[in-house]
Amino acid sequence: MTGFRDLGWARPDIDREARLGLPEVVYAPGKEPAQIAAVVSSLLAANAGPVLATRVEPGTAQAVLAAVPDGVHEPRAKLLHWRAAAPMAFTVAIVAAGTSDGPVAAEAAAVARAIGLTVDEIHDVGVAGVHRLLAVRDRIAAADAVVCIAGMEGALPSVVAGLVAAPVIAVPTSVGYGAAFDGVTALLAMLSSCAAGVTVVNIDSGFAAAMAAHRIARSRA
Amino acid sequence: MTGFRDLGWARPDIDREARLGLPEVVYAPGKEPAQIAAVVSSLLAANAGPVLATRVEPGTAQAVLAAVPDGVHEPRAKLLHWRAAAPMAFTVAIVAAGTSDGPVAAEAAAVARAIGLTVDEIHDVGVAGVHRLLAVRDRIAAADAVVCIAGMEGALPSVVAGLVAAPVIAVPTSVGYGAAFDGVTALLAMLSSCAAGVTVVNIDSGFAAAMAAHRIARSRA
Amino acid sequence: MTGFRDLGWARPDIDREARLGLPEVVYAPGKEPAQIAAVVSSLLAANAGPVLATRVEPGTAQAVLAAVPDGVHEPRAKLLHWRAAAPMAFTVAIVAAGTSDGPVAAEAAAVARAIGLTVDEIHDVGVAGVHRLLAVRDRIAAADAVVCIAGMEGALPSVVAGLVAAPVIAVPTSVGYGAAFDGVTALLAMLSSCAAGVTVVNIDSGFAAAMAAHRIARSRA
Amino acid sequence: MTGFRDLGWARPDIDREARLGLPEVVYAPGKEPAQIAAVVSSLLAANAGPVLATRVEPGTAQAVLAAVPDGVHEPRAKLLHWRAAAPMAFTVAIVAAGTSDGPVAAEAAAVARAIGLTVDEIHDVGVAGVHRLLAVRDRIAAADAVVCIAGMEGALPSVVAGLVAAPVIAVPTSVGYGAAFDGVTALLAMLSSCAAGVTVVNIDSGFAAAMAAHRIARSRA
Amino acid sequence: MTGFRDLGWARPDIDREARLGLPEVVYAPGKEPAQIAAVVSSLLAANAGPVLATRVEPGTAQAVLAAVPDGVHEPRAKLLHWRAAAPMAFTVAIVAAGTSDGPVAAEAAAVARAIGLTVDEIHDVGVAGVHRLLAVRDRIAAADAVVCIAGMEGALPSVVAGLVAAPVIAVPTSVGYGAAFDGVTALLAMLSSCAAGVTVVNIDSGFAAAMAAHRIARSRA
Amino acid sequence: MTGFRDLGWARPDIDREARLGLPEVVYAPGKEPAQIAAVVSSLLAANAGPVLATRVEPGTAQAVLAAVPDGVHEPRAKLLHWRAAAPMAFTVAIVAAGTSDGPVAAEAAAVARAIGLTVDEIHDVGVAGVHRLLAVRDRIAAADAVVCIAGMEGALPSVVAGLVAAPVIAVPTSVGYGAAFDGVTALLAMLSSCAAGVTVVNIDSGFAAAMAAHRIARSRA
Amino acid sequence: MTGFRDLGWARPDIDREARLGLPEVVYAPGKEPAQIAAVVSSLLAANAGPVLATRVEPGTAQAVLAAVPDGVHEPRAKLLHWRAAAPMAFTVAIVAAGTSDGPVAAEAAAVARAIGLTVDEIHDVGVAGVHRLLAVRDRIAAADAVVCIAGMEGALPSVVAGLVAAPVIAVPTSVGYGAAFDGVTALLAMLSSCAAGVTVVNIDSGFAAAMAAHRIARSRA
Amino acid sequence: MTGFRDLGWARPDIDREARLGLPEVVYAPGKEPAQIAAVVSSLLAANAGPVLATRVEPGTAQAVLAAVPDGVHEPRAKLLHWRAAAPMAFTVAIVAAGTSDGPVAAEAAAVARAIGLTVDEIHDVGVAGVHRLLAVRDRIAAADAVVCIAGMEGALPSVVAGLVAAPVIAVPTSVGYGAAFDGVTALLAMLSSCAAGVTVVNIDSGFAAAMAAHRIARSRA
C-alpha cells in the first residue's frame, strides 16, 4: 500500500485524508479538465471527506462537472467541490477591508464552508473609517478564528489583532495599484504587523486561510 | 478609564491583557533601559499576567533587571520576563531545520514557556536528510500546534504540513548567504508552500510564532 | 547678481530665502566640519532667517559650533540651528506610532520649531491599541497639519487620515526587522493608503515632513 | 447612529463628510456597475457634498449614469461625479512634464474641480527644456498649491520646489519604459528629491494629489 | 574557414558541433519562420548531428516544417527537431513536483531524447506528500543524472539531493501565484538549497537542464 | 522669444536644434496621431534639421503620414522621420548579439541614419561563439563609435570594449526569459562590466544609443 | 538504526556517506567551536570518508583543531578538513575571471581536493582581455568538468561554455560594487547565459561548485 | 607572444595599451599590496603609458608606493598612478550636483588628468537651485564632453543634456538615504532620462566616466 494512486502523469495523494483530516485539494491552473476530473474521481473513490478544486475558470468548471457529477460550482470563489463536510462547531469570521476584496473573501468563505467550518462574513470595514470596524468588534470577538483580508496598505489585521484574542490569519490581496505592487505591499505590511501573533498566507489565497483555520478547528477535536 | 497609561513619551496599553489575554510585550530595540523599565513597571502594576521584553541585548538586560527585580533573563533568546504564566495543557512542537537556526528556536521556546505553553523542542531535522524528520513524525503529530523554523530554502514547513494535521506556523530565518537574501527566500518559499494551510510570520520572529500559538491555545479555553 | 556664493567646492544658494521663505538647509553627511561651518556662515551672512544643518553627528556638531557661535545643538534630533524663526500661528501635530520612532519624531519637532511652527507631540499611539489613538483624536483634529510617523506596517496615517480633515504628511521609519525592510514596507504602505489625500516623504525624514508643513503654513500668509 | 450604511456587501461611510469635509469616494475597479450605483446613491442620500467615482471604464460609466442620474462623466479622467462643490478661493497649479502624462493630469484636474478647487493646468514643461518651465514660473508661484506630475526620471518636482514656496505634491506616472519600471523610478526619485518639503503620492494617482490639495485648502478655512 | 555561415542578419555557428558535440540550437521567439528555416537549413547542411528549435509556437512550427521537411514537432514541449541523435547509455531521471509543471518536464524530456539521452519521467512527487517521492527513490537513484522540476517553494531538489548521489540539476518553474513571483522564489530556494551540490538553471528551462545533462553524459565518453 | 511653441496641451521645444544640434524628437506612446502631427509640424516649421517620431505603431504611423507628408516610415524600427540629415563622416558600428535583438538594432540604425551617421550593422556575434566576434574585430575597430546590443546576460559589450578603443555604448534588450527579467539582468551586467569605459542606455533603447553617438559625432565638428 | 546521531541540539546525518558518497559537511557560521567539534567527531566516528567544515573563521578554526586533532586548516579557503579522500581520476578546471575572485576559487579548489578531485587552477582570464582565455582553451578542454568563477557582469561562463564541451558549473561572486549588487547581477547573468547547458550555484559558493563536480565524478564510477 | 604576463595567480593584460590606448587599470579591493605592486610593475615594464590603481585605501597605498616608486597618491580620489599621460587638447567638464558628491567627482577628475584629459570641475549645481547651473552653462557648453555626477534623485544630467550638445556621461552616486537606495534611484533615473543621448555608468564610478571620456577623446585622433 503506497498511499497514492499512480496515474502516470499524476500521483493523487489518497493517504492525505488519513494524515491531515482532509483529502488532497486540486489546484486547477495548468491542468486540463480531463486531468482535473481524473484526479477528483480518484480522490472521491479513495476517501470519505470533501473533495475540492480551486481556481477553476468557468469553462473548465462546466467540463469537469459534466465528467464528475454531484459537484457544486461556486463561480465567484472559482471553487468546485463534492461531498461538503458536515459543519463543525467552529466559527471563522471572514473580515474584509473593502468591497474590491470580495473575490478573495468569497474563496475563503466557500472553501471554509465546504470543509465544515461555520462562516461569519463581514465586509467593507477598512481602517480609513475605523468606526465601521469598531461597530462589529463583538461579532469578530465571538469567532473561534479570524481571517482578515485586505489589499493596498494591508492595515486591517493589525487593528483587528489588537481588538480580539482569537487567532488572526491575514490574507493580503492584489487590490490597489502603483506602490501596492499587486499585493506585495499588503503582504509585507502584514508580516511586519506591530500586533503580536498575526500569521500570514500568500497573496489572494482565501483558500490557504480557510485551510489554516481548518487546522485550528481540527486540532481542538 | 482610558485603557492606557500616559507617560508622555509612551502610552503602555494596560488594557491589552483584558482584550487579548496577555499584557503588551515590550520591543527593546531603540529604547533606553530606563524606558524599558518604566514600561515594564507600568505593565506589571496594571495587569496580572506575564510581562515580557524581547530582543534585549545583554547590557540592557542587566540594567533593566537592576531596576525591575524578579525578572528572568534568557540570554540566548534575548528575552526578559516577569511573572511567567502557569502552564496550559497545550503543547507546541518547535521544529528547527538546522543548528544555525538555534537562536530563533530559542526565542520561540522561551516566549512560549513564559506565556504558558508546553514546549517540545526538536532540532536539526532539515530536509536534506529527510529520514531525521520522519523519525520524529509521531512527536510532531502529538503536538497541538507546530512552529517550523528554517532558513536557506525554507522547505521544512512544506514537508511537515504534509505529515501532520496540526496548525503549522512557519518562521523563516536569516540563516544562509547569497541567494538566501537574509531570510527573504525562506519567507517567500514558506508563503508559496504547496502544503495547504501553512501560515507564516516575519523573518527570525520566534516571538511572533509563539504568540500565534498562544492565540490558538487560548481560543480553545 | 548670481543668487549664490561661489566657494569653489560649494555654491550656497543665498537666494533661496527670497524664493522659498527659508534659507538653504545643510545636509551634513559627507561634509567636513569646516565645510559645514563655511556654508552656514555664508548663509547666515546673506539671509535673515533661520539656518539649519541636519543629520549632524555629535563630534561634528561640537566642531561646527566652535567655529560658528550662537548655534543650538539638539542631539536627539541631530540638528544644529542658528537664529530660530519667530513662531507662526500654525500648529503641527507630530503623531508617532511607537516609542522606537522617537528619533524621527524628534527631528521633525526640532526642525519644525526652528522654522517657526508650533508643535504638539503625541507619542505611542500605534494601531494595535487603537483606543490610544481615539483618545487623542481631538488634539489631532485641532492641528493645522499632521505629521504621522510609523515604522513596521506603517498603518497609522491611514487611520489618522480617516479621523481628521487636516493635511496628513506620512513619514515611514526604519523601525522593524525582516519584512519591514528598513522602512520600505512602511513607505509602500503609506503610498498605498486607502485613506484619501495622504502624502508621503522619504524614510526617516522628519526633516522633510517639517519642511512640507512649513510650505503649507507659509502658503496661508 | 453608526456612521455607516450597512448594505451587507458594503458599508458606505456616510459619516466621512462630517469628519473630513468630503463624502467617501468610490474606487471603481473590481466593482459591478450596480454596486457602484448603490454606494453612490447611499452617499448622495446621506451627505450634501460632491460624490465621486474614480477609475471608471467607459462601459461602466454609462451603466452607472443610467442608474444614478445627474452625474457628469469625464472620460479622459475616468471620473464620474455628482453635485460638484462650489469653487473655493484656492488655486492649484497642475504642472505636467510631458504630454504623455496627460491622463494623470486630467484626473487631478477633474477631481480638483469637482471638489471645489480652482485649477491652472500647465503642460509639457519637462526639465530637458528647462526654459519652458522658467517661462511659467510666475504662474506656478501664484498658485496656493502645486501638483507636479512626471514620469521617467521624475525630476520636475525637484526643480519646481526650488523655484516656488508653495506646497508641492508630486505625482509619479507610469510613463516611460525599461528602467522607468512603470513609475517606480519616478516615485523613488521624487521621494529622494534634494528640494526640501516635497511630498509624494502613489503612482498615476492624480486623484490622491487633488485630495491632498483639498486638505490644504480646507485647513485654511 | 571561419566557423560560421554569414547570412547577413544571422551567423549560424556551424563550428559548434565540433567544439561542443551538438550543433547550435535555435531559440525561436522573436524570429520569423523563414529565418528559423534558413538557420535550421544551414545547420543541417554543415553538421551531422541533431538540429533543434525551441519555444516554437504551433503556427510557426507548421510554417517551418513546411520549409524544412523531415522535422518532428512535439507541441507540448514546443520543440522542433531534425535528425535525432542515437541513444547513449545514459539515463536522466526527470522528476517533477506537480502536474502543473508538466510543460517544463515535457521540454526537458523531448530535448533530452532528441540529443540522445534515455529518459525516465517521474511526475507529481511534490514534498507535501513525501511518501510519493520515497516510493520512487530507487528509480531516481538508478539514473545517471537527475533533473528536478518544481515551482512554488521549489523544495523538491533539496529532498532529492539528500536521497541520491547523482548530479542534480534543478529547474524552477513559474507555477504558483503571489509570493511565488513567477518562479523567482523557486529559483532562489533552489540556489539556497541546504543539500550540497545542487546546480540550477533558468526558470522554466527544461531545455537548459537537458543540455546540462548532455554535457555530463558526453564527458564520460 | 520664448524658445517654444505653446499649443496649450504641448510646448514643442523649437529652440532645441540651436542648443543641441537636433530638433526635439517626439515619443509617440500615449499621444494621439493628431497630437503627433501637430508637434511634428511645429518642429518642421521652426527648425531646419531632421524631425523624428519614435515607437510609432503601424496604424498611428499611417495617420501621421497622411497629415504630415514627405515623411518616411521604417516599420521594423517603429520610426517616422522627415528631412533626414546629410551624412557626416562618422561611422557607428551597430553590433548585436543575437537575431532576436534585431528590432532594437533596427531602431538604432534607422535613427542613426536619419540624423546623419554612417552605419555598419553587424548581427549575431554573441559570446557563446566568440570566433564570430573575433572575425569582425577589424570592422568594429574601424568605426568611430560602437553600439553594442545584447539581451540575456548582456556580455557582448565587455568583450567588445576589450577589443577596440572606440567609445562603446551598450544597449540591453528585453530578449530572454526568467532570470533575464525583461532586460534588467543585461542592464545590470553592462553597468558592472569589467571592461573600462563602457557606457549604458535604457533597455531596448536603440534610439538613445544613436543619439549618444550623435553627441560624440557632433562634438568633433 | 536511525541513520543519525541524536545530540539533542543537533542530529548529525551519519547515513549520508552511504547515500551520497560523502559524509555530511558542517556549515560553521552560527555554531560554537564546541558544537562544530562535537558534530565533526560524530561524523568521523560514524563514517570512513573525509569530514569538512566550511566558512570557518580563524579563531574558530584554532579552537576546533585543538578539540579534534589531525585536521587541516586552509585559511584562504576558510576550510577545515580531516581524512582527505584519495584522488580520483577526475580533473576539475577551476577558472576565475579576476584576482579578486581568489577566495572563492580557493574554497572551490580546497574542497575539491579534500573530496578527491584533481584540480587545475586558472586565474585572471576575464573577458575584457579574451586572448588570455583563448590561450588556456586547451587546458580547460582537457578537464572533466569546469568550475567558472566570476563577479561583476559574470560573463565568463558564457564564453567558456561556448569553447568546451565539458559540464560547466558557474559560481557568481560578490566582487564588484554598485550595480553588481553583491553578486546578484553575476548570478542572474549566469542563469540567463546564451550558452547552452550552463548550471549555476549560489553566490560565492566555491563549496557548492566542488560538491556538484563531485556528484559528476562519482556518477562515472 | 601571448599578450599577457602569466604570474600564476594573475595575468596582467600587457597587450591592452596596444588595443585600447591605455594599459590595464588595477582594481585594488580584494588584492594584497604585494599583488598590486607586482601587477603594476608588470604593466609599467611592458607598456609606455600611464598605470593606475583605483579604490586604494590609505594603508595599502603607502605599501604599494614603497614597493613601486615614483607613483602619485591622490587620497581623496583613492587613486595611485604612475607616469601620467601628456595632456590632450580635450576638455571634460566634471559637473557635480552637491558637495557630498565630492569624492566621486575627485575620482573622475584625478583619473581623467592621469590619462591625459583636461578637466574643468564645477561643483554644487544641483537642480533645486537651477540658477546656479544656468550661471555655468557656457563653461559646460565649452567642454568636449561632460561628466554629470549626482545622487538622490539624479536629475542633473537631464537638465544638463537639455542645455548642451556635448556627450553627457552620467554618474549616479550613493549620496542620500531611504528611497535613494544607495544610488540605485539615481541610476534608474539617469537611465530613464527624458533628455536624449545621455549615457550612464555604474554607481559611484568616477573612474568609468573618465575612461569613457578618454574613449571619446582618443576616437578623435
> Please, which pLDDT band fits residue F220 given cuts at 50, 70 and 90?
confident
Mean pLDDT score of chain H, rounded to an integer?
A: 96
Cβ contact D199–C219 (<8 Å): no
Q: Which residue in chain G has the smallest CA separation from E147?
A: G199
Query: How close is the nearest chain A Cα to the Cα of D142, in Å?
Result: 31
Cell of A120: 461569519
User: Distance between CA atoms of E47 and E59, rounded to whole angstroms?
Assistant: 27
User: Distance between CA atoms of C177 and B206, rounded to whole angstroms?
Assistant: 13
Instruction: Kindly list the residues from chain G whose CB atom is less than 8 angstroms away from the CB atom of residue B175.
Output: 29-30
Instruction: Kindly list the residues from chain A whose CB atom is less than 8 angstroms away from the CB atom of residue E177.
Output: 29, 202-205
Among H101, H173, H177, the residue to mutate for chain C (most C Cβ within 10 A)? H177
pLDDT, residue F3, reads 86
Cell of G192: 540567463
Please say if the pLDDT value at position A25 is more than 70.
yes
Please say if the pLDDT value at position G1 is more than 90.
no
Query: pTM for the full model?
Result: 0.97
Q: Does B181 touch chain E (CB under 8 A)?
A: yes
Considering the domain B91-220 in this protein, what is its CATH number?
3.40.50.1970
For A40, B49, B139, the CA distances from B42, given in Å and listed in that order, are 58, 13, 40
pLDDT, residue E194, reads 94
- Digit-coded pLDDT (tens) for H119-170: 999 999 999 999 999 999 999 999 999 999 999 999 999 999 999 999 999 9
Q: Which amino acid is at C30?
A: G
> Please, which pLDDT band fits residue B1 given cuts at 50, 70 and 90?
very low
Query: How close is the nearest chain H Cα to the Cα of F172, in Å?
Result: 11
Nearest CB to D19 within list C165, C211, C220? C165
Nearest CB to D10 within list A124, A177, A178? A124
Q: Does H107 touch chain G (CB under 8 A)?
A: no
Q: Does D169 touch chain C (CB under 8 A)?
A: yes
pLDDT, residue H1, reads 46
In this prediction, what percent of chain F has a pLDDT beyond 70?
Answer: 99
- Digit-coded pLDDT (tens) for B56-65: 999 999 999 9
Mean pLDDT score of chain E, rounded to an integer?
A: 96
Cβ contact C130–A188 (<8 Å): no
pLDDT, residue A61, reads 98
> Please, which pLDDT band fits residue E2 given cuts at 50, 70 and 90?
confident
Nearest CB to F13 within list D103, D123, D129? D129
For D13, D47, D81, E21, the CA distances from D17, given in Å and listed in that order, are 9, 7, 15, 75
pLDDT, residue C1, reads 46
Mean pLDDT score of chain A, rounded to an integer?
A: 96
Among H185, H191, H199, H200, the residue to mutate for chain D (most D Cβ within 10 A)? H185
Please say if the pLDDT value at position C2 is more than 90.
no
Query: How close is the nearest chain H Cα to the Cα of G1, in Å?
Result: 48
Cβ contact E154–B178 (<8 Å): no
Instruction: Kindly list the residues from chain F whose CB atom is less than 8 angstroms away from the CB atom of residue D131.
Output: 2-4, 15
Q: Does A165 touch chain B (CB under 8 A)?
A: yes
Cell of G116: 578527491
Instruction: List CB contacts of C69: < 8 A, sequence separation 6 or more.
Output: none
Cβ contact H164–F19 (<8 Å): yes
In this prediction, what percent of chain G has a pLDDT beyond 70?
Answer: 99
Instruction: Kindly list the residues from chain B whose CB atom is less than 8 angstroms away from the CB atom of residue G15.
Output: 129, 131
Q: Does C183 touch chain H (CB under 8 A)?
A: yes
Cα-flanking dihedrals φ and ψ of residue D205, to 5°?
Answer: -95, 75
- Digit-coded pLDDT (tens) for B88-108: 999 999 999 999 999 999 999
Cell of B31: 529604547
Among B131, B148, B152, B194, the residue to mutate for chain E (most E Cβ within 10 A)? B194
Query: How close is the nearest chain B Cα to the Cα of E74, in Å?
Result: 29
Q: Does G58 touch chain E (CB under 8 A)?
A: no
Mean pLDDT score of chain F, rounded to an integer?
A: 96
Please say if the pLDDT value at position D219 is more than 80.
yes
Residue with cell 522621420: F81
pLDDT, residue G220, reads 85
Mean pLDDT score of chain G, rounded to an integer?
A: 96
Neighbouring C-beta atoms of residue E92, cutoff 10 Å: 29
Instruction: Kindly list the residues from chain A whose CB atom is less than 8 angstroms away from the CB atom of residue D16.
Output: 129
pLDDT, residue E3, reads 86
- Digit-coded pLDDT (tens) for G48-102: 999 999 999 999 999 999 999 999 999 999 999 999 999 999 999 999 999 999 9
Please say if the pLDDT value at position D1 is more than 70.
no
- Are D121 and D70 within 8 A, CB to CB? no
Q: Which amino acid is at E92?
A: V
Query: How close is the nearest chain A Cα to the Cα of C146, in Å?
Result: 16
Q: Which amino acid is at A62?
A: Q
User: Distance between CA atoms of A214 and A116, rounded to whole angstroms?
Assistant: 8
Q: Does G198 touch chain E (CB under 8 A)?
A: yes
pLDDT, residue G77, reads 98
Instruction: Kindly list the residues from chain E whose CB atom is less than 8 angstroms away from the CB atom of residue B129.
Output: 162
Q: Give mean pLDDT, residues D55-77.
A: 97
pLDDT, residue D34, reads 96
- Are C97 and C156 within 8 A, CB to CB? yes
Mean pLDDT score of chain D, rounded to an integer?
A: 96
- Digit-coded pLDDT (tens) for C32-61: 999 999 999 999 999 999 999 999 999 999
Q: Please, do chains B and H touch (3+ CB pairs < 8 Å)?
A: no
pLDDT, residue C3, reads 86
Q: Does F124 touch chain E (CB under 8 A)?
A: yes
pLDDT, residue D11, reads 93
Query: How close is the nearest chain A Cα to the Cα of B124, in Å?
Result: 23
Q: What is the DSSP string of C20-60?
A: HSS---EE-TT--HHHHHHHHHHHHHH-SS-EEEES--HHH
Cβ contact B100–G29 (<8 Å): yes
Cβ contact H158–D159 (<8 Å): no
Q: How far apart are the first and last CA of chain G?
A: 28
Q: Does E35 touch chain F (CB under 8 A)?
A: yes
Can you list the alpha helix ranges (DSSP code H) found in chain F? 16-20, 33-46, 58-67, 102-114, 130-134, 137-141, 156-161, 184-191, 206-220
Q: Give mean pLDDT, residues G152-166.
A: 97
In this prediction, what percent of chain H has a pLDDT beyond 90?
Answer: 96
Nearest CB to E178 within list A2, A27, A202? A202
- Are G71 and G44 within 8 A, CB to CB? no
Please say if the pLDDT value at position E167 is more than 80.
yes
Cβ contact H203–G132 (<8 Å): no
Query: Of B101, B111, B95, nearest to B169 (Cα)?
Result: B95
Which long-range CB contacts under 8 A does A18-21 form with residues at least 24 apart?
Answer: A19/B162, A19/B163, A19/B164, A19/B165, A20/B162, A20/B164, A20/B165, A20/B196, A21/A49, A21/A214, A21/A218, A21/B165
Instruction: Kindly list the residues from chain C whose CB atom is less than 8 angstroms away from the CB atom of residue D215.
Output: 165-168, 197
User: Distance between CA atoms of E150 and B44, rounded to whole angstroms?
Assistant: 51
Q: Give mean pLDDT, residues A92-105.
A: 96
Mean pLDDT score of chain B, rounded to an integer?
A: 96
> Please, which pLDDT band fits residue E123 given cuts at 50, 70 and 90?
very high
In this prediction, what percent of chain B has a pLDDT beyond 70?
Answer: 99
Query: How close is the nearest chain F Cα to the Cα of E8, in Å?
Result: 7
ipTM of the shown complex: 0.96
User: Distance between CA atoms of E187 and B153, rounded to whole angstroms?
Assistant: 10
Q: Which residue in chain A has the smallest CA separation from B191?
A: A202
Q: Give mean pLDDT, residues H29-42.
A: 95
pLDDT, residue B200, reads 98
Please say if the pLDDT value at position F1 is more than 50.
no
